[in-house]
Structure 1
Amino acid sequence: MKIAVIPARGGSKRIPRKNIRPFCGKPIIAYSIEAAQKSGLFDEIIVSTEDEEIAEVARQFGATAPFVRPKEIADDFTGTNAVVKHAVGWFAERGTDITHACCIYATAPLIQVRFIREGYERLIGSDAAFAFSITHYAFPIQRAVRLTPEGRVDSLYPEHRMTRSQDLEPAFHDAGQFYWGTARAFLDDVPVFSPRSIGVVLPRVLVQDIDTLEDWEQAEFMFRAVGGNSAAIS
């Protein structure tokens, strides 16, 4: 059995009620649920939350909320791996064997079905523990600078001051959309950011972290620019 686990805490501080805040016409969590549904990969799509209003919104869009997330994994410091581990363990305790799980963030309206499928196919076609979304940095990180205490600029990588950008190794970062893993990897607390993971590269135009209201506005602009819901989950 394969499950999607969408973590959706109720206590967001910087953007209150972030996970169910309206985004281009519907609660933002709806886009993650719909992408999981359209992928055709999951036997069940679960929203892990301690908040009854979020659970009800999730059910309205076709997900389940079969348990109340325990308080000890519903604070500001809990990582998503712990949330997925709890969900996998919850099913195991009831006699249901989970083979693979995919953590999908509730605030990922630009997520596309084709990349969810690619992540799964690449995971099962390998001996990796995880496959998750990444994207290129927009600028070579080897050209990064820092500010000294006096406000002066200094190179973080002085050995690359004169290196041509086309000769620098590309760098990537977590795209914050989905994290496929074997059930065993989640249960065993295998680190996601390690050589045991496969990176699924997304175009930067489909990646926007949403932590502030400015981020939110930027994400809505990008969402409309790529054609809205029909493009984002096709």
Structure 2
Amino acid sequence: MNIAIIPARGGSKRIPRKNIKDFCGKPMLAYPIQAALQSGVIDKVVVSTDDAEIAEVALEYGAEVPFLRQSQLADDYTGTTEVIRDAISQLQSLGWPLEHCACLYATAPLLDAGLIGELLHRLVATKADFVFTAARFAFPIQRALVLTETGGVAPFDPASISKRSQDLIPTFHDAGQLYWAKASTWLDLQKSVFSANSQLYELPSHRVQDIDTPDDWRRAEYLYRMLQQEQS
């Protein structure tokens, strides 16, 4: 069985209730649920939440909530991998025969359903530990600047500040959308998403937006509407 697990706790602070806040006409959580269901490669979509209202929204849009997440796994310090491991263990204890598990972020309205299957196929073909979405930094991070204690400016990497952009290696950041691995890989404490045995799938910048602030939210809505217009 191939499943998608969507972590969606109730305690968001910078954007209160952001996982079920209205985003272009639907709760934010509805978008990754629907993308997973439309992908053609997901047997079940599971939402891991500690919140009864989020659970109701998840069920309304076709996901399953076989358990409620324990409060100690829903604080500001618990990592995503720990939540996925807990969900897999819970589902296995219920007798679910899990093979491949995708982690989808609740705040991923720009996720394309076809991409879910594409990354699963890459995981199987390459035998990587993890395959995940990423995006290229728009500006070379080697030429970043930092503020000094006296209010001045200094290069983050003095050896690279004078180099041409084309002479610096490309750098990437996690896109915060989609991560595939075998269930057994998620449970292996020696395995890490960001390692030499993982592969990234590069997304164009217009399909990536972290959503932590109201400004992030507005930009994500703009990108979503733009993509919808392109597809119509």
TM-score range, shorter chain: over 0.9
Contact 1:49–1:68, Cα closer than 8 Å, also in 2: yes
- Structure 2 counterpart of 1:172: 172
Helix, strand or coil: the match of 2:228? coil
- Structure 2 counterpart of 1:129: 129
- Structure 2 counterpart of 1:11: 11
Q: In the aligned structure 1, how far is the partner of 2:18 from the partner of 2:160?
A: 41
Shift in Å at residue 163 of structure 1?
Answer: 1.6
Q: In the aligned structure 2, how far is the partner of 1:105 from the partner of 1:51?
A: 16
Helix, strand or coil: the match of 1:142? helix
Shift in Å at residue 127 of structure 1?
Answer: 2.5
- Structure 2 counterpart of 1:148: 148
Q: What stretches of structure 1 of length at least 5 have no aligned partner? A: none
- The answer on 1:188 being equivalent to 2:188 is yes
Q: In the aligned structure 2, how far is the partner of 1:4 from the partner of 1:91?
A: 12
Helix, strand or coil: the match of 2:15? coil
Shift in Å at residue 153 of structure 1?
Answer: 1.4
Helix, strand or coil: the match of 1:227? helix
**CA RMSD, Structure 1 to Structure 2 (Å):** 1.5
- Structure 1 counterpart of 2:58: 58
**Which stretch shows the higher mean deviation, 62-71 or 155-164?**
155-164
TM-score, scaled to structure 2? 0.95
Percent identity (aligned): 51
- Structure 1 counterpart of 2:220: 219
TM-score, scaled to structure 1? 0.94
Show CA shifts across 1:163-187 (max 9, x none). 2111211000000001111111111
The amino acid of 1:216's aligned partner reads W
- Structure 2 counterpart of 1:35: 35
- Structure 1 counterpart of 2:45: 45
The amino acid of 2:188's aligned partner reads D
- Structure 2 counterpart of 1:99: 99
Q: In the aligned structure 1, how far is the partner of 2:84 from the partner of 2:44?
A: 13
Contact 1:33–1:45, Cα closer than 8 Å, also in 2: yes
Shift in Å at residue 227 of structure 1?
Answer: 1.8
Helix, strand or coil: the match of 2:202? strand
Q: In the aligned structure 2, how far is the partner of 1:73 from the partner of 1:161?
A: 42
Helix, strand or coil: the match of 2:101? strand
- Structure 2 counterpart of 1:207: 208
- Structure 1 counterpart of 2:74: 74
Helix, strand or coil: the match of 2:220? helix
Q: In the aligned structure 1, how far is the partner of 2:152 from the partner of 2:75?
A: 39
Contact 1:118–1:200, Cα closer than 8 Å, also in 2: no
The amino acid of 2:144's aligned partner reads A
Shift in Å at residue 25 of structure 1?
Answer: 0.5
Q: In the aligned structure 2, how far is the partner of 1:87 from the partner of 1:149?
A: 44
Q: In the aligned structure 2, how far is the partner of 1:142 from the partner of 1:85?
A: 34
Helix, strand or coil: the match of 2:115? helix
Q: In the aligned structure 2, how far is the partner of 1:81 from the partner of 1:35?
A: 21
The amino acid of 2:226's aligned partner reads A
Helix, strand or coil: the match of 1:3? strand
